[in-house]
């Protein structure tokens, strides 16, 4: 009885450890556009892209999922993300071209989820 209980708690601990490791290693994935977005963009643009953040409101950020932003071409969105625009910082030196392309695709996904 006693030892069975110990084995169970060991199994639970191991499962928690494995889950913790999985969580911890996620942001390292270079092609994980969602992780890139959350790490680099969400503090201003909001997790859902609507810019409903203290910084977003202060800077007057437009909703990335709005028709106004979505009607821009991928090239335009990629250029803005790469070079920046007014208060929007450029990510030329922080993200690879592939990461920027992926993160723009992710913004399109956010718009579809609305």
Where on the chain is the footprint of ligand HEC (CB under 6 A)? 40-41, 43-45, 55, 59, 61-62, 69, 77, 80-81, 85-89, 91, 103
Nearest residue (CB) to ligand HEC, 2 versus 113: 113
Nearest residue (CB) to ligand HEC, 55 versus 97: 55
Closest distance of CB 95 from ligand HEC, Å: 6
Closest distance of CB 113 from ligand HEC, Å: 16
**Which residue matches tokens 């996620």?**
26
Closest distance of CB 64 from ligand HEC, Å: 6
| Of 26, 36, 52, nearest in space to 107 by CA | 36
Nearest residue (CB) to ligand HEC, 16 versus 43: 43
**Number of Cβ atoms within 10 Å of the Cβ of 106:** 20
**Neighbour-count burial of 104, counting CB atoms closer than 10 A to its CB (0-12 exposed, 13-18 middle, 19+ buried):** buried
Cα gap 44→52, rounded to integer Å: 8
């Amino acid at each position: 009885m006693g030892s069975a209980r110990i084995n169970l708690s060991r199994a639970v601990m191991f499962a928690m450890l494995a889950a913790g490791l999985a969580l911890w290693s996620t942001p390292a994935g270079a092609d994980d556009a969602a992780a890139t977005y959350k790490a680099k963009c969400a503090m201003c643009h909001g997790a859902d892209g609507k810019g409903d953040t203290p910084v977003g409101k202060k800077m007057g950020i437009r909703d990335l999922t709005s028709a106004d932003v979505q009607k821009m071409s991928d090239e335009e969105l990629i250029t803005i993300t790469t070079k920046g625009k007014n208060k929007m910082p450029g990510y030329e030196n922080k993200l690879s071209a592939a990461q920027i392309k992926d993160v723009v695709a992710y913004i399109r996904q956010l718009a579809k989820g609305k």
